[in-house]
Structure 1
Amino acid sequence: MKFNLRFLIIALFICTISVAQNKGTISGVLTDKETNNEALPFANILIKGTNISANTDIDGKYSLSVNPGNYTVIFSFVGYESVEKPVTVKANETVTVNQVLSAGGYTLKDVVVKSSTVNRQKESALLLEQKNAVDIKQTIGAQELSRKGVGDVAAAVVKTAGVSKQEGNNNIFVRGLGDRYNSTSMNGLPIPSNDPERKNIALDIFSTDIVEYISIDKVYSSRIYGDFAGGNVDIISKDYRGDGMLEISLGSKANTNALGQANNFMLQQGPNKSGFVSYGVPNDPLSGFNFENSLNPVKEAPFAGEFGIKAGKTFRIGEEGKIALFGTASFNSGYEFREGLTRSVSAQAAEQKSYLQQKYSYNTNTTGMFNANYRINSNHKIGYNLLYVNSSDQVRDTYLGSDRDYDNADADLYIQRGTFTQNSVFINQLLGNHKLTDKIDFNWGASYNTVEGNMPDRIQNMLFHYRDNDYYSLAQATITDNQRYFQNLKEDEIAANMAFTYKLGDSKNGDSKGKIVAGYNGKFKKRDFEAIQFNFRITEAGLQERLDPNNLDAFFNQQNYANGTFSISSFAGMTPQTYSGNQDIHAGFANLEYKLTDKLSSVFGIRYENITQTVEWRTQFDAGGGINTFERNEFLPSLVLKYELNEKQNLRLAASKTYTLPQFKERALFVYEDVMESKIGNPYLYPSQNYNLDIKWEMFPKSEELFSVTAFGKYILDPINEVIIASASNDISWVNIGDTGYAYGIELEARKNIFDLDENLTNKLSFGFNASLMKTHQDIDRQKVIDETDLNINLTDSSSGFTGASDMILNTDLSYAKNWKNDAGIIATLSYNHYSDKLYAIGSQEKGNLVDKAMGSLDFVFKTKLNKKLGIDLGARNILNPEFKRVQENAGGDVLVLNYKKGVTFGLGMNYQF
């Protein structure tokens, strides 16, 4: 009996193998006639009269295994005309059937056309692209942005693993590496910064209305500029598909902190609610009091609004040509208020400055985008993108407390500072994609970008508040205590990309072995910056006058100037302090993407860059002017390996060498003075060298699910850091702080559908999670700084972590989505973000490090579609309203030096599509 059973099992096994060996294969590629014959993912392939079916992958490829015989294959896709094709299959042979689908007899008014480009907004499509790509990439699309209620690109990127945002500014940290180590591009072309303090443009000025998807490259590729160590954020702008659309949205939002100050919310006069101003340095300000704006604050009602409109249209030109137009314009504003302690203390925790700070702010963002994409025919496509963003920030700060340099036992020191900043970015891009032959593609792009950043008429006044008699008088320890300041930045940048791609093997028959890509990148940047400050020297008699701090116009006016009560002066008369920067980068690159085996793929890359950077200045520290130039030649190799463990799992490895450039302002001998600190440039600063390594395991259980683990390491030679230098006023500067630094860590990511109850309509609950655990370290070498510069540092420790880096970053979200047959539906998302303690500044003069304490934020978004045209959105941000704390790590324990709460922001919006 045992023999018979064994015989039966062996016989069945042999028959199974025999049947499997006798099967044939039907495979091929589906393309989309409506999108320049691009690959069509997620299309359906069915053997007529059977249950045998498949879906195309992100590259439009499919494969079916069937017994020998004659079949009819049905190709279909939502909104496209189905195609049936007869096929004869022979044993052990592969039949290649490629097919082009089109809208055919359908009209676009009757269906929603879902092209490959539109699907790249979907989470499932982007995950499939991530799975199949050889390069290591991470993307977040329009669908995920909408689900999580994300309103701008900065909020989007911090939802991804290993990315955090520094509290109080727009600085993004990727794997513990801050602004200087990252880069930003749009449609693959670089875009300049809108802030003289930063290398990268503020990502929160980009509304997600303009975004198709965002790609975060944390692994270097030879097609990216070599000034890279943390990551590159590439914003892909919307590319419209469809017959026509028009959508209008309205909204409002309110912050609990600001509403709590509704009876006392005051801002400086001058800036208007639109965020656009035209005033600047007045005529002849040294010979009379000719300033345009009042010093008296004006009361505001802290209620904010939003408005947006977007439209798209597609036109056919001839038999093959098509042009797609898309435009969007929006305006939004917001009021905020925060209150808390801000102070500096000695190594023994003695107070040097200690204030209660109140900060009132109003910000705006105006965005306009237009793009036109023209498909000439199936082989050629060109596109034009225009983006204009104007952002403004109006802030009124008041400080009440003490300063050891202002000794007055009877009074507290009271400081008022009003700052208005207007930054505008104008981006123009022209892009082309050309299929020259079946094997050769040519892609190119060119951009001309301009940036203007203005700080017109920043005002500062210092007063004593006499506690017993409750009156104010002006304070003056230095001539700069009472001042008006004007600065302007203009930057032009031209960039060009071109790349030839040669496909190896026969991609039509699914026999592609890879491709060779070679090309050129060029980037040419010019910056001009100027600033002038007018200082008010007050006479002894003027310092005795009693004043109302909300009516300083009663003192600073033409009459008192004419009477000699105060005088006005500036550095070098009406000649402003200036610095200019020029940076040219020429780069050639080549990479080979090659399938080494059925499971092992590789990308070998090499890049050469020639970099020239010149900074020239004339400032109060160097009235005669100075200039500094460096030139570098960089050879940057990179390698990526991908091993397919099985159909759902990949193992990846990446290694590369890159560099990090100092920025213009960091090298210009110019000082920027704030209430609590001053910063001065270091002309001797030079680039760092970076060595990068990543190992990643990933699994894709289903189309919308992912589990991954990534280990990474960064080794940096001559790292650049912001430090306090030994000077009379303890200024901050930038130095190559030591010989080496490193960062290493692990990233975890998971996306899982908890349940999905309806096959035809959405009814699912999904969960997302990512976390990053890391360690950073850098050597501090005082002698190195002394030898290489004319600066001196006296830092407390001989090593530290990287400023801005958290040992742990966590993001998680829970989403429920439900759709009904009448196009109605809801999406509700609860998301939480947490970061652990992070180093803000390195301690000096025996003082401990400044550390931002761990903090988390909870957001809730509810979106509802009442019908096909009308939708209503609700949102609550920062629900937990945690307290932000910064401490100084002294020997006797942590000393609080900054704290505040931001308040909860509630929003209500409505959108209607015609």
Structure 2
Amino acid sequence: MKYFLLIFVFAFATYTYAQQTTGGIVGKLTDREQNDEPLAFANILIKGTTLGTTSDFDGLYEIPNVEPGTYTLSFSFLGYETVEIPNIEVVAGKVTSIDVPMSASQGVALDEVVVTTVARKDSEVALLLDQKRTITLETSIGAQELARKGASDAATAVTKVTGIAREEGTGNVYVRGLGDRYNITTLNGLPLPSNNTAKKNIDLGLFGTSIIESIGIDKTYNAKNYGDFAGANINIVSRNYTGAGFLELGVSSGANSEAIGVEDFYLYEGPDFSGFYNKEIPDNPFNNTFDTSWDRETRSTPINSSLSLKGGDSFNIGENSTLNFFAVGSFSNKNSYREGVNRGAPNLGTGLPNSDFDYQRYSYETATTLMGNVGLRLGSANDIKYNFVMLNNSEQKHEEFDGILDREDDAPNGGGFIQRNTFERTTLMINQLLGNHDLNENLELNWGVGYNNVQNLVPDRRQNTLLPYTNNDPQGPKSFRLVSDASANHRFFQELTEDELAANISTSFKFKKNDDDAFDGKLTLGYNGRFKDVSFEATQFNYQILNIANQPNVDPYNIDAYFDEYGPGTGYWQIRTFRGTASTAGSLDPQTYGGEQQINAGFLTLEYKFTPKFTLFAGVRGEQIVQRIDWSTVIQGIGNNELETFEFLPSLALKYELNEKQNLRFAASKTYTLPQFKERAPFLFQEEINQDTQGNPALENSTNYNFDLRWELFPSSSELVSLAVFGKYIENPINTFLIVSAANNLSYANTGDSATAFGAELEVKVDVLENEKESAESMLVERLSVGGNISYLNTNQELDYLKVSEETNFAAAFTNTEAPLQGASDFIFNADISYYTEFANNKNLRTTLAGNYFSDRIFALGSTGRGHLVDKGFVSLDFITAAQLGDHFGLGLNVRNLLNPLVERVNENAEGDLDTTNPAIPGFLEDGPVTALSYKKGVDLSLSLTYKF
């Protein structure tokens, strides 16, 4: 091992020395014939040498490892005049930047050549250049990289970034072991609402990559951003367009191996193909006037498809102003099937799960996107943009559970049956108006106003529960005879509406001009405001079983026949809400919660370059937060609560340029974590079988202290090596926990005094092979690139059941006194290998193999003597290939989840620092692990075709 380390150190030292004794030439080529669009595949040669290269998709080029001296550069492209620029000086350890506009008709004057790189924000090279130059520790992934790695939405995209893993079955992510509550999501710098009562952040899976220019992931805090942060600020930059007009049509079709493999694919009556379905509560519901069926129905072959149309154009207005627009409309659908086991918590005495089901789930999802933006550039100093986004996403699920409902009560020997039909629809409307103005050489003004509306609907969720007619005959006929829980058979209606107004405004003053005609200092003063109104209501109609003695046998797949024969007046059952029957006053009043959240914040930041190599970015922010909530629920009647706090949040970032290719960065900050409305509302949510949750009005915010240290090496314009270490200290952390009660519901509490997270991250992007071959028309490129990142996390938190009982109305029984953070994997690994080759102009092939692995992570903390509920780690592998077949046609083939691993959640044995002092823990589980959930997601295959007009 020591010899390997010596070789590595020697090779690295040799490489670093070579970089410091040679120089490089970089720059960008633009096409004057096409409104200064990037000019790809042009040839760049150093005359009198064998050194040269070609420009990439974004017109960017780099010639590294050039011996110091003075050279003449030659720029050529078929049909364009060759440009030669003499007297280019290359200095050891420096990079000379030459940007050249090229023309088909006339030469380029030397005064048109600039020494500033200007690049599009969606290319890997441009975003790496931004990362190299910026002071903060933001990592970005652009549209070019998203396409190469086959990311279809923002949730998939961010998991390609170091230290980020996706929560299984959702579009939410864990960043450095910190889950949804610790992150914040913005669009173009303005905050986004959540689409789910259970989450703080919007589901990133709602944002298809067709509307994304880039995604910035800032794992460190700076005072310009909202302070409700500890994991990452994920900023989606909507796609903009400049250049000649275009129109592109895309279609795709495919299938999921699990869904296509079932003999019959079942859903249920109601929701339509488009996903814009809704169903209102009918008149006189206590008389069962619902007109939708309880029963499943067979659907056609589950084929996935998508259709998109996008286009854009830009226009010159006068001599110095431009108007551009971009629009996209798309619709896609997806079918999936899961089969496996679904089990409850194991019994401490026997190790057997209290409930034990064979599980099937059929799912149909839709995603509709409309997006448009208009940009107006007035001269060189004023930019105004308007963005509109409409997203409508839906999922229709039919689920079946066969087996033991309760080992000590319902169907103890098996034969129980539950079916649940759920349709959920989320519609999000986003409106943004943004402005940037250079008032003079020293002063600039930036502002933005956004209005968002989100509506989340669960119309007419239906659930049936049947038990064996006698418990001793689990394979015999089924009926409602032994069903005692009134809510076991029900129809449920839910609506969440959230309106949010957000505003940003800041002014920056630049000072201390240096010899390069730039400014060493910038002082920024700004204001952020965020004003949110939330309204939630839900009504559930429970079909309470009566007249137990005379209940008939029931066919589980023909529930309608039972209710048709035995109507509301037969005395076999009655409908009641949680408030009562038809004779109860106010029985149709929904359970509700709502309120408002107001955040007013002011900030001041200072950016100052002490030397050409050393830069400071410091800031301070003050936030006044008011969160008011009121409710009318069955479990706690009518009430209200207010959380008000003022947070003082300092931040610091330092950057030191070791040389032209290496940076050293440090960041430290203080932030907070605010509880969400659902977490504080005393409402009982029955969102999953065996998983009920209720809010805790006594919940308080957490305080976070963060630090980061990172070293970066940029070997070339497309390569990166970085190593980072980080740490977090969290006071008063919030967790989901199991309430000690007969119902065993979940709730939320500040479960201990502190938590810590420490880790390290390594990221590498390198070009392994790059060849050029000359054709009759141009220079053709062949490139093989490899990228990967790995992160290690060590997290720990205190668990204190006495703190929970003293601060809330609940009792907790944590199995352990200490535990890792929920969702934190010790290891996360991403890797990809890409091959790109050109056959001719506009004819090329790009192929990528991308893999991801996360190690085991806690889904829920161990309680009442049971070990932690753990999601087992697995490897996923995707294959993506795309071919450009000329000026108009493109083909793509995506195969996702190639390995199709088993997704498994287990209840582990109790071990570690066990809490033996809590009287609510009768013993400890020693007969695990017990599989709580398992299934396979299947392989997703899709073939796509694009045509550009």
- Partner of 1:678, secondary structure, is strand
For residues 866 and 817 of structure 2, the distance between their equivalents in structure 1, rounded to whole angstroms, comes to 13
> Which of these residues, 357, 363, 366, is aligned with residue 364 of structure 1?
366
In the alignment, which residue of structure 1 is the partner of 2:776?
none
For residues 440 and 60 of structure 1, the distance between their equivalents in structure 2, rounded to whole angstroms, comes to 30
Residue 894 of structure 1: CA displacement?
Answer: 1.5
* Deviates most, 179-188 or 560-569: 560-569
Q: 1:39 to 1:299 in 2, by over 3 A?
A: closer
Q: Is the 8 A contact 1:406 1:477 kept in 2?
A: no
In the alignment, which residue of structure 1 is the partner of 2:269?
269
For residues 591 and 498 of structure 2, the distance between their equivalents in structure 1, rounded to whole angstroms, comes to 17
Residue 557 of structure 1: CA displacement?
Answer: 3.9
In the alignment, which residue of structure 2 is the partner of 1:745?
759
Residue 465 of structure 1: CA displacement?
Answer: 4.3
Q: Is the 8 A contact 1:435 1:441 kept in 2?
A: yes
The total of aligned residue pairs comes to 875
Residue 362 of structure 1: CA displacement?
Answer: 0.7
Deviations 1:50-81 (A, max 9, x none): 99999999999999999999x99999999999
Structure 2 residue runs without a partner (length 5+): 1-24, 90-95, 108-115, 580-586, 774-778, 910-925
Where does 1:703-718 land on structure 2 (aligned, <5 Å)? 703-718=717-732
In the alignment, which residue of structure 2 is the partner of 1:638?
651
Amino acid at match of 2:570: N
Residue 250 of structure 1: CA displacement?
Answer: 0.7
For residues 639 and 296 of structure 1, the distance between their equivalents in structure 2, rounded to whole angstroms, comes to 60
For residues 795 and 637 of structure 1, the distance between their equivalents in structure 2, rounded to whole angstroms, comes to 35
- Partner of 2:415, secondary structure, is strand
Amino acid at match of 1:399: F
> Which of these residues, 791, 813, 823, is aligned with residue 842 of structure 2?
823
Q: 1:267 to 1:305 in 2, by over 3 A?
A: same
- Partner of 1:561, secondary structure, is coil
* Deviates most, 405-414 or 865-874: 405-414
For residues 444 and 184 of structure 1, the distance between their equivalents in structure 2, rounded to whole angstroms, comes to 18
Residue 83 of structure 1: CA displacement?
Answer: 9.0
Amino acid at match of 1:423: T
Q: 1:271 to 1:452 in 2, by over 3 A?
A: same
For residues 297 and 67 of structure 1, the distance between their equivalents in structure 2, rounded to whole angstroms, comes to 75
For residues 751 and 34 of structure 2, the distance between their equivalents in structure 1, rounded to whole angstroms, comes to 52
In the alignment, which residue of structure 1 is the partner of 2:112?
none
Deviations 1:759-815 (A, max 9, x none): 733311111110110011000111111111111101111111111110000000111
Residue 571 of structure 1: CA displacement?
Answer: 2.6
Structure 1 residue runs without a partner (length 5+): 1-25, 90-95, 108-114
Amino acid at match of 1:289: N
- Partner of 1:480, secondary structure, is helix
| Corresponding position: 1:789 with 2:797 | no
Q: Is the 8 A contact 2:175 2:232 kept in 1?
A: yes
- Partner of 2:126, secondary structure, is helix
- Partner of 1:204, secondary structure, is helix
For residues 63 and 149 of structure 1, the distance between their equivalents in structure 2, rounded to whole angstroms, comes to 29
Residue 264 of structure 1: CA displacement?
Answer: 2.2
Where does 1:413-428 land on structure 2 (aligned, <5 Å)? 413-428=416-431
| Corresponding position: 1:900 with 2:899 | no
Amino acid at match of 1:501: S
Where does 1:419-818 land on structure 2 (aligned, <5 Å)? 419-465=422-468, 470-474=476-480, 475-506=482-513, 509-540=516-547, 544-557=551-564, 560-572=567-579, 573-623=587-637, 625-673=638-686, 674-758=688-772, 760-818=779-837
Amino acid at match of 1:907: S
- Partner of 1:742, secondary structure, is strand
Where does 1:169-318 land on structure 2 (aligned, <5 Å)? 169-261=170-262, 263-286=263-286, 288-301=287-300, 302-318=302-318
* Deviates most, 892-901 or 354-363: 892-901
Amino acid at match of 2:304: A
Where does 1:89-128 land on structure 2 (aligned, <5 Å)? 119-128=120-129
Amino acid at match of 1:337: Y
For residues 807 and 900 of structure 1, the distance between their equivalents in structure 2, rounded to whole angstroms, comes to 23
Q: Is the 8 A contact 1:81 1:101 kept in 2?
A: no
Amino acid at match of 2:818: S
For residues 39 and 257 of structure 2, the distance between their equivalents in structure 1, rounded to whole angstroms, comes to 48
Q: Is the 8 A contact 2:890 2:945 kept in 1?
A: yes
For residues 611 and 75 of structure 1, the distance between their equivalents in structure 2, rounded to whole angstroms, comes to 57
Residue 411 of structure 1: CA displacement?
Answer: 5.7
Provide TM-score, normalisation by structure 1. 0.89
Deviations 1:589-632 (A, max 9, x none): 11111111222111011111111111111001122x11110111
In the alignment, which residue of structure 1 is the partner of 2:321?
321
Deviations 1:675-702 (A, max 9, x none): 1111000000011000001010111111
Where does 1:328-367 land on structure 2 (aligned, <5 Å)? 328-344=328-344, 345-348=346-349, 349-367=351-369
For residues 762 and 300 of structure 1, the distance between their equivalents in structure 2, rounded to whole angstroms, comes to 48
Residue 512 of structure 1: CA displacement?
Answer: 2.5
Amino acid at match of 2:433: L
Amino acid at match of 1:370: G
Deviations 1:302-335 (A, max 9, x none): 1121111101111222222211111001111111
Residue 409 of structure 1: CA displacement?
Answer: 6.2
Q: Is the 8 A contact 1:28 1:510 kept in 2?
A: no
- Partner of 2:567, secondary structure, is helix
Sequence identity of aligned pairs in percent? Answer: 43
Q: Is the 8 A contact 1:31 1:60 kept in 2?
A: no
Amino acid at match of 1:896: T
For residues 853 and 680 of structure 1, the distance between their equivalents in structure 2, rounded to whole angstroms, comes to 27
Q: Is the 8 A contact 1:29 1:508 kept in 2?
A: no
For residues 84 and 848 of structure 1, the distance between their equivalents in structure 2, rounded to whole angstroms, comes to 71
In the alignment, which residue of structure 2 is the partner of 1:19?
none
In the alignment, which residue of structure 2 is the partner of 1:6?
none
Provide TM-score, normalisation by structure 2. 0.86
In the alignment, which residue of structure 2 is the partner of 1:12?
none
- Partner of 2:655, secondary structure, is strand
For residues 38 and 366 of structure 2, the distance between their equivalents in structure 1, rounded to whole angstroms, comes to 40
Where does 1:78-89 land on structure 2 (aligned, <5 Å)? none
- Partner of 1:529, secondary structure, is strand
- Partner of 1:236, secondary structure, is strand
For residues 878 and 600 of structure 2, the distance between their equivalents in structure 1, rounded to whole angstroms, comes to 44
Residue 292 of structure 1: CA displacement?
Answer: 2.7
Q: 1:133 to 1:804 in 2, by over 3 A?
A: same
Q: Is the 8 A contact 1:356 1:401 kept in 2?
A: yes
Q: 1:39 to 1:251 in 2, by over 3 A?
A: closer
Amino acid at match of 1:590: L
Deviations 1:395-449 (A, max 9, x none): 1111011123544467611001111000011000001111100111111111000
Deviations 1:234-265 (A, max 9, x none): 1111111111101111111211111121x321
Q: 1:435 to 1:468 in 2, by over 3 A?
A: closer
- Partner of 1:404, secondary structure, is coil
Q: 1:564 to 1:699 in 2, by over 3 A?
A: same
For residues 140 and 838 of structure 2, the distance between their equivalents in structure 1, rounded to whole angstroms, comes to 25
* Deviates most, 123-132 or 765-774: 123-132
For residues 126 and 619 of structure 1, the distance between their equivalents in structure 2, rounded to whole angstroms, comes to 50
- Partner of 1:505, secondary structure, is strand
Amino acid at match of 2:418: I
For residues 276 and 487 of structure 1, the distance between their equivalents in structure 2, rounded to whole angstroms, comes to 16
In the alignment, which residue of structure 2 is the partner of 1:154?
155
Q: 1:473 to 1:587 in 2, by over 3 A?
A: same
For residues 901 and 765 of structure 1, the distance between their equivalents in structure 2, rounded to whole angstroms, comes to 32
Amino acid at match of 2:392: N
